[in-house]
Chains A and B, each alone.
Chain A
Amino acid sequence: DTGVSQDPRHKITKRGQNVTFRCDPISEHNRLYWYRQTLGQGPEFLTYFQNEAQLEKSRLLSDRFSAERPKGSFSTLEIQRTEQGDSAMYLCASSTRTSYNEQFFGPGTRLTVL
């Protein structure tokens, strides 16, 4: 499968724990996006990278959230001290720099915070 992959697909954690998600974009794509989707809502933009540089962060991304893309390939999204309100589907997408509006989405990681 040469599409965007995300790991894990599901994560259940207790409030206060830290979690980390991974996204592997399509190999030739240099842009990588993170979105969050809660029940009944459309995806909401969190942040994006061009190669290893994080170029924009949403106000939704509180200090407890951090994202990295150290070598311009895969990316990680870490949530520290999780809260029940963090329960959501976390989606990753990638695109080329020139066709940045055609984003290819991964299957998502569903986070449940108990």
Chain B
Amino acid sequence: AQRVTQPEKLLSVFKGAPVELKCNYSYSGSPELFWYVQYSRQRLQLLLRHISRESIKGFTADLNKGETSFHLKKPFAQEEDSAMYYCALSGGRSSNTGKLIFGQGTTLQVKP
């Protein structure tokens, strides 16, 4: 079964602390993994994807195929990082649909 699991509904940290948002997935094949973010009163937007291997707003995520994980990390949290974060997967080039399967989301709360 295709599934994305985000075990934490809420993650609360203080400004400057490291952040790790967990994501595990189940997929038979070679999926593409993404992190989408939704700031308060804004629409859902792409934060980063594993194939880009880039850092966006200080966030990075590494795909670990052995552990089927794609955790999102940032060394020093900022208050403006407070948002809802969704991990998502698609079937990659083999499926070509672009259909995204989302996790339940994790609310990141960065306290001053």
Contacts and interface: CB of A to CB of B under 8 A. Distances in A.
Interface in A13-71: 31, 33, 35, 40-45, 48, 55-56
Interface residues of B, number: 22
A42 B90 CA distance: 14
Size class of the contact patch on chain A: 20 to 34
Contacts, number: 58
A91 interface: yes
Contacts of B43: 3-4, 105-108
B99 A56 contact: yes
Contact of A40 (B45, B96, B104): B104
A1 B12 CA distance: 34
A75 interface: no
A100 B104 contact: no
Contact of A43 (B44, B49, B90, B96): B44
A42 B104 contact: yes
B32 to A, nearest CB: 6
Interface string B80-112: 000000101010000011111111110000000
23 contacts: A3-B43, A33-B99, A40-B104, A41-B104, A42-B86, A42-B88, A42-B102, A43-B44, A43-B100, A45-B100, A48-B98, A48-B99, A91-B44, A95-B98, A100-B90, A100-B96, A100-B97, A100-B98, A101-B34, A102-B49, A103-B46, A104-B45, A104-B46
Interface of A: 3-4, 31, 33, 35, 40-45, 48, 55-56, 91, 93, 95, 100-108
Given A40-B104, A101-B34, 13 more contacts: A3-B43, A4-B43, A31-B98, A41-B104, A41-B105, A42-B102, A45-B99, A45-B100, A45-B101, A48-B97, A101-B98, A102-B49, A103-B46
Interface of B: 4, 9, 32, 34, 43-46, 49, 86, 88, 90, 96-105
